[in-house]
Structure 1
């Protein structure tokens, strides 16, 4: 895998056409596999013989992975993203309450206001040539502001958290830099926890701290397992979370001892929320604007009211997934994927960028950005038990951001040729590092 991320989509296409399951070398010359085609990836993500916990990572268990490795954070963090079975259901259930449809809908007015404030500030962000970096001044502060509001993270920590998480997820950093970023993130999160312990609020961090102490969340009790099921049953994304709506935050006692959260699990859960809660939505908004700038005829359809902004978001998620390759899953037994044997314990990447343009699923024009494409089930938010908990919130943020952006600046256009935009470093995230535009 090219650690620089210089040509994510070209690499994804080559891998996809090579095989559904491609052996690759990860940083540090660690052998791995990437699943590249839609059907095979969907089935792999839902396969009960595939695990997330690093106790199934054969090379790690044999002591063959360096203590300092760029991807340690993805393999070893303690939380729902590396948990299986009952542990995963418990941890996911504790966080699900923050993402019920009612809670997400209740955030709409606040997201609308933040979006409006950021758009009003954009003209003042232009340089001497009238160019503004839309990624830096709009696509980034919007989702970062939303997730930090949800978690109760003070504004003073936000830029540092973004810089540290950016270095942590970039495979182009050195192992030492990635490990240092992990240490820095945990230092900041420890301070966030200390702040919320001293002054609890109606935020998810305060609620999770209450669980850690065996207490009750601020809103009483609820069926966390039911909400977790609802989030995973809507794996196409459009129906994610529909059904019963339980709005209690974590910590409610369902007639037995409250669920417990260890210190490591608390830190891991907050880390996951920070990274997944802003990096992916930042890339989604950036990729959507970039795609519309490159396809003005598609934008014209949306501005004329012939296509919805929801359709733009879904096509962007399919065509230019915010995550290119997500680590890791491990087969618990030798697994055959379209004739290729993936040995037990192999670290496997979910190749979302490759699967999103798979002609076997989307037809021979799968490589074309087309907002009129019939609704299709993409995998950008995952599939199965680990389907993205924050998918409804990410969709809401992106739709609000794009609709209001183009309402305010319908003549927005790239200030430089698309081919000169610098790719986001690394093969995990998929976007560009900056998006210079003229507001028009």
Structure 2
């Protein structure tokens, strides 16, 4: 008898290398508000592309994120042990919790991301941005042809330094943690690669937890260790929550900065509007979030009972895997018009996106990401007004991830091409 996972073959097989996220999103949108898909590893799911349906599902009290309670394929052992995306259902964090567990885990993190604490970070972010731009200039001066990777030296570095400062990650551990963190969101790994990464992640985290237990500080990791000591988190939740904060606080903002820079450099008329102050950097950030959702798709949600959505006339069975396709949602022509695929910082609907999710799962770090975006973009283009891509936009390689939407690297020249 065949596995229940294989009886109902999905009509659309998602590309684990994510070579064309938006082409795939458009194809899925054409199939309806939600389409049956096959995730890497042969696992069936629904990809939700309609903004209204996505909002209703994200806020629905009978839609769970906890595979350990509500995904029959996981509970019945039908999910392959070596499934490359298994980490996204194995982890025990606020991102995979439901009901009281979700409220309990979220409660531990809320104090870190209050408006007051985020505002207080602004001077530190401005100073760090200036230092990174100094480093970027030095790297370019030493590079052949002055070509430097903006993603490595700036777009990913600023959010990584910000989130590791919040978590309390010692400087000596930052590079090792970043290397592993980058692999977590890769969706074309072999099972062996995924297992090796998990083992290394556990080792690194063990070292960090030992340090924070011995020498607690005023940081997220120490606060979570204390919550574990008081019985508010179990050991698995403690470990996974630290990784979650690192990953969510780093990759999403890195992708935001990545796409904002690429879009502005390839739309010089819009860059001129932002630099001249005719359009605010906040609008640049919001349009980037809409046009290039930093999280393209998020794994996964499960109805706790058969769920009928009357506006779309779709019925999702109890335990169906639901994936919210934020890349598709952000370019819905019903919300943003026939030119929804175009980047336009003057767009009236630019703020109408779900890039930070919706309802009870709204991203705790949303305002921090927005702050980093405004500060970083303003400073970058003020410091380097002749900044340009060193390759054509079509030559940029996307990250191999169905989840994170960014580029592997962004080769740029800070002072323009002297031979042009």
Q: TM-score, normalised by structure 1?
A: 0.88
Partner of 2:393: 418
Partner of 1:56: 70
Please tell me whether residue 65 in structure 1 is matched to residue 37 in structure 2.
Answer: no
Q: Secondary structure at the match of 1:129?
A: helix
Provide structure 2 residue ranges, at least 5 long, that are not aligned to the other structure: 1-13, 416-420
Q: Secondary structure at the match of 2:46?
A: strand
Please tell me whether residue 100 in structure 1 is matched to residue 72 in structure 2.
Answer: no
Report the more deviating stretch, 138-147 or 172-181. Answer: 172-181
Asked if structure 2 preserves the Cα contact closer than 8 Å seen for 1:165 and 1:181, the reply is no
Q: Match for 1:79 among 93, 105, 120?
A: 93
Q: Secondary structure at the match of 1:31?
A: strand
Q: Match for 2:340 among 338, 341, 366?
A: 366
Within 5 Å, give how 1:16-415 maps onto structure 2.
16-54=29-67, 55-126=69-140, 127-214=143-230, 260-337=232-309, 338-374=312-348, 375-415=350-390
Q: Match for 1:9 among 22, 46, 52?
A: 22
Q: Secondary structure at the match of 2:146?
A: coil
Q: Secondary structure at the match of 2:175?
A: helix
Asked if structure 1 preserves the Cα contact closer than 8 Å seen for 2:64 and 2:303, the reply is yes
How far residue 87 of structure 1 moved from its aligned partner, in angstroms, is: 1.0
Partner of 2:413: 438
Q: Secondary structure at the match of 1:43?
A: helix
Instruction: Output one character per residue of 1:329-375: Cα deviation in whole Å (capped at 9) or x when no partner.
Output: 01112233523332221221110000000001111121111111125
How far residue 377 of structure 1 moved from its aligned partner, in angstroms, is: 2.2
Q: Secondary structure at the match of 2:35?
A: strand
Asked if structure 2 preserves the Cα contact closer than 8 Å seen for 1:168 and 1:179, the reply is no
What is the root-mean-square deviation in Å for CA atoms of aligned residues? 1.2
**Aligned residue pairs, count:** 396
Q: Secondary structure at the match of 2:302?
A: strand
Distance 1:104 1:385 in 2: 20
Asked if structure 2 preserves the Cα contact closer than 8 Å seen for 1:167 and 1:177, the reply is no
How far residue 75 of structure 1 moved from its aligned partner, in angstroms, is: 0.7
Instruction: Output one character per residue of 1:153-180: Cα deviation in whole Å (capped at 9) or x when no partner.
Output: 0122222222212222111111221232
Provide structure 1 residue ranges, at least 5 long, that are not aligned to the other structure: 215-258
Q: Secondary structure at the match of 2:372?
A: helix
How far residue 40 of structure 1 moved from its aligned partner, in angstroms, is: 1.2
Asked if structure 1 preserves the Cα contact closer than 8 Å seen for 2:296 and 2:404, the reply is yes
Asked if structure 1 preserves the Cα contact closer than 8 Å seen for 2:275 and 2:378, the reply is no
Report the more deviating stretch, 78-87 or 283-292. Answer: 78-87
Please tell me whether residue 428 in structure 1 is matched to residue 406 in structure 2.
Answer: no
Q: Secondary structure at the match of 2:30?
A: helix
Distance 2:283 2:137 in 1: 28
Instruction: Output one character per residue of 1:247-294: Cα deviation in whole Å (capped at 9) or x when no partner.
Output: xxxxxxxxxxxx611111111110110110101111110010011011
